[in-house]
Amino acid sequence: MAAKKLYESFSKELIEDVHRWGSMKQTSVSLKYMMEFGSRPTARNLLISSQFLHKELPIRIARRAIELQNLPYGLSLKPAVLKVRDWYLDSFRDLRSFPDIKDQNDELEFTRMINLVKVRHNNVVPMMALGVQQLKKDLDPKIDYKDLDEIHQFLDRFYMSRIGIRMLIGQHVVLHDPNPPPDCVGYIHTKMSPLEVARSASEDARCICLREYGSAPNVNIYGDPNFTFPYVPTHLHLMVFELVKNSLRAVEERFVDSDKVAPPIRIIVADGLEDVSDEGGGIPRSGLPKIFTYLYSTARNPLDEHSDLETTDVASPSTLAGYGYGLPISRLYARYFGGDLQIISMEGYGTDAYLHLSRLGDSQEPLP
C-alpha cells in the first residue's frame, strides 16, 4: 500500500537529492546524433553513452517525481498516482546508487539496470489514467474537461518526457544487440517505408474491428511505395494504428445497420505526411477539443479499480476503444520528433486525421 507520506518510505537524504537533481538542466539529444552515434556501437561509445545516461536520466526522473508531488486538485494523493511516484523514486534511487561506470563490465551492469527501470515503468500510462479516474470520482461532477486544463497540460508534459526517457534507454540497450537488423540503428530504421508501416498498422486495426464487429470497412492506401526516410517504425505504427482504429469504429457503427456499403477509409502517404480519412459521420466542432483530452472516450472504459495493474500487462491495446488515450499520446509521439497530429472533422460526413512526420535529424527532443 503506497505510503502517503514521502518520508515513511524514502530517506530525507534521498528526497533532498531528488530536489537537487530535479533543478538541474536537462540535455536534449539531437535525433541526428542518436542515429550517427548509434551507427558505431563500439565499446568506447557505449561507455560514453552510459556515462551520459547515468547523469541525464536522474535529472529527468527527479523532475517528474517532483511534479507528481505537486499536482492540482489533490491528484497527487490518489493511490494510483502515489504508486507511479514511488516507481519514479525507486528508479531515481537505483540510478543514484549505481557507482561510476569505469569499464565494460560496469557498463553491461548499468545497461541491465536501466533496462529493469524501463520495465518497472511499463504501465505508467494506464496507472496514471486510473489516478485521474479516481480523481474524477471525487470531483464535483459539474466540472468540465476545460477546467481540468492544468492536469491535461501536466499529463502532456509528463508523457512527453516519458517518451524521451524510454527512447534514450531503449536506444542504449538495443545498441548492445550483436546482430542488428539491416538499416537499423536501435529503434530507428534509416530506410523506413511509411507506406509499409501504414499498411501493417491498418491491417492490425482491421483485425480488431473484425473480431469485435464481425466485419470491417476496407482501407485504401495511396502513396509512393519506394519512398523511405529515417524514423522509428514502432512509433509510426502506434499512431497509424490508433487513428485507423478510430476511423474503423466510426464507420462501422455508422453503417452497421445500413444497407449501404461502408465507404472505405483512405490513407494518403505524401512525403512525410499521412492523411487518414474516413466517412464515419464526423464530430461536431464543439466536440473536437475533447478528443485530445485524457480520459475522454465515447466507449466503455476497460479500466476499473479492481484491475491489478502491478502484475497485469496492459501494454497492448487489444480493444477497439479504450480509456481514451490513443489520440493525445499519438500526438505526443508525433511531436516528439518535431511533427504533429491534426484532426479536422466534418459533422455529418467524416473525419480527417493528418499525421505530419518530420524527417529525423532536423529536430531536437522537446524537453518540457
Partner 1 sequence: MAAKKVGDTLSRELAEEVKKWGCMKQTGVSLRQMMNFGGKFSHKNLLISAKFVHRELRVRIARRVIKLENLPYGLSSKAAVLKVRDWYLDSFRDLRSYPEIKDKNDELEFTQMVKMIKVRHNNVVPMMALGVQQLKKERPKFDYEDLREIHQFLDRFYMSRIGIRMLIGQHVALHDPNPLPNCVGYIHTKMSPLEVARNASEDARGICLREYGSAPDINIYGDPDFTFPYVPSHLHMMVFELVKNSVRAVQERFMDSDKVAPPIRIIVADGLEDVTIKISDEGGGIPRSGLPKIFTYLYSTARNPLDEDFMTTDVATACTMAGYGYGIPISRLYARYFGGDLQIISMEGYGTDAYLHLSRLGDSQEPLT
225 binds partner 1 (CB under 8 A): no
Give the integer Cα–Cα distance in Å for 333 and 356. Answer: 11
The Cβ-side half-sphere exposure at 65, using a 13 Å CA radius, reads 28
- The x, y and z cell numbers of residue 28, run together, are 536534449
We find the least distance from the C-beta atom of residue 347 to partner 1, in angstroms, to be 2
Distances (CA, A) of 278 to 220, 223, 243, 248, 258: 11, 17, 10, 8, 17
Give the integer Cα–Cα distance in Å for 148 and 37. Answer: 41
365 binds partner 1 (CB under 8 A): no
User: 18 with 89: CB under 8 angstroms?
Assistant: yes
74 binds partner 1 (CB under 8 A): no
Within residues 309-328, the interface with partner 1 by CB under 8 A covers: none
226 binds partner 1 (CB under 8 A): no
**At residue 224, what are phi and psi to the nearest 5 degrees?**
-80, 115
Residue 94 CB-density burial (10 A; 0-12 exposed, 13-18 middle, 19+ buried): middle
Closest to partner 1 by CB, 42 or 286: 286
347 binds partner 1 (CB under 8 A): yes
Closest to partner 1 by CB, 148 or 267: 267
Query: Which residue is associated with the grid cell 476503444?
Result: 321
Name the H helices within 23-42.
Answer: 31-38
Helix or strand run (H / E) with residue 333: helix 326-336
We find the least distance from the C-beta atom of residue 95 to partner 1, in angstroms, to be 37
Q: Which segment (28-36, 46-54, 255-263, 350-358) binds partner 1 by CB under 8 A?
A: 350-358
280 binds partner 1 (CB under 8 A): no
14 binds partner 1 (CB under 8 A): no
278 binds partner 1 (CB under 8 A): no
Closest to partner 1 by CB, 230 or 282: 282
Nearest partner of 297 among 276, 283, 309, 278, judged by Cα: 283
285 binds partner 1 (CB under 8 A): yes
Among 253, 271, 305, 362, binds partner 1 (CB under 8 A): 271
Among 207, 210, 270, 299, binds partner 1 (CB under 8 A): 270
Helix or strand run (H / E) with residue 132: helix 124-138
DSSP, collapsed to helix, strand or coil, labels residue 120 as: helix
Among 11, 215, 318, 342, binds partner 1 (CB under 8 A): 342
Give the integer Cα–Cα distance in Å for 158 and 201. Answer: 26
Among 179, 226, 286, 311, binds partner 1 (CB under 8 A): 286
Closest to partner 1 by CB, 159 or 354: 354
282 binds partner 1 (CB under 8 A): yes
We find the least distance from the C-beta atom of residue 276 to partner 1, in angstroms, to be 12
364 binds partner 1 (CB under 8 A): no
We find the least distance from the C-beta atom of residue 231 to partner 1, in angstroms, to be 16
362 binds partner 1 (CB under 8 A): no
We find the least distance from the C-beta atom of residue 228 to partner 1, in angstroms, to be 15
Query: Which residue is associated with the grid cell 515503468?
Result: 121
Q: Which residues of 213-232 are buried (b: 16+ CB within 10 A; e: fewer)?
A: eeebbebebebeeeebbbbb
User: 222 with 268: CB under 8 angstroms?
Assistant: yes
252 binds partner 1 (CB under 8 A): no
105 binds partner 1 (CB under 8 A): no
Closest to partner 1 by CB, 72 or 284: 284
Rounded to the nearest 10°, the torsion over CA 28, 33, 35, 37 is -110
Can you give the binding site for partner 1, defined by CB under 8 A?
Answer: 268, 270-273, 275, 282, 284-286, 340, 342, 344-350, 352, 354, 356
